Amino acid sequence: MSLMFKLYRIFTALALMITGFFTFAGVFSVFTVGFIPLLILSVMAWGACFIHSVLSIYLQRSLLLPEIQLKENTPGGIRIMGVITVLWGGLLFVLGAGILAMPPEAKKDVIQQLGGDNPAILTPMGIVFLLIGFILTFNANLSFRFLREWTRRNEGQGEE
């Protein structure tokens, strides 16, 4: 097992835990708060990232045990959900960078508008957004890489 594959396994596990938490928290929020369009959009984005993580686990299993084949639609699902994951992770990364780049006066204004009194909370929030964005985009890029490897391996087996 190569270092990149080990990283892929670690990042998939992290992405699965993070996206699973936010997906199910969002679903419960929809049921308690109501059907707010932005909340539903957020749940759908987190859900796509969660599905991508689950499909990544199936890809890893197929790479480790070649006798276990992927279902016919799994590679397409990895590609589609992977693009959504890259977009969502990129958005979170940019959001985190934007929060960290805000001047202190702007942080105070934002916190006051939200009814809070401690602008220092925005710095850890920005760091968390950066980390989650990095984890999601890195995992999706690794899944694209290993999906190409899986495709090449299967095409090679089909020629024999």
pLDDT score of 1:
76
What are 127-144's pLDDT values in tens digits?
A: 999 999 999 999 999 999
Average pLDDT score, the chain: 92
pLDDT score of 67:
87
What are 85-132's pLDDT values in tens digits?
A: 999 999 999 999 999 999 999 999 988 888 888 888 899 999 999 999
Q: What percent of the chain has pLDDT over 90?
A: 78
pLDDT score of 10:
96
Of the candidate ranges 12-16, 55-59, 66-70, the one whose mean pLDDT is the lowest: 66-70
Rounded to an integer, what distance in angstroms lies between the CA atom of residue 116 and that of residue 94?
23
Contacts of 62 (CB under 8 A, 6+ apart): 68, 69, 70, 150
Confidence of residue 158 (pLDDT cuts 50, 70, 90): low
Confidence of residue 61 (pLDDT cuts 50, 70, 90): very high
pLDDT score of 28:
95
Pairwise pLDDT comparison (120 vs 60), residue with the higher score: 60
Of 94, 75, 96, 88, the closest CA to residue 137 belongs to 88
As given in the structure block, the two tokens for residue 16 are: 């699965």
Question: For residue 68, is pLDDT > 90?
Answer: no
CA distances from 76 to 11, 70, 80, 114, 152 (A): 20, 11, 6, 41, 15
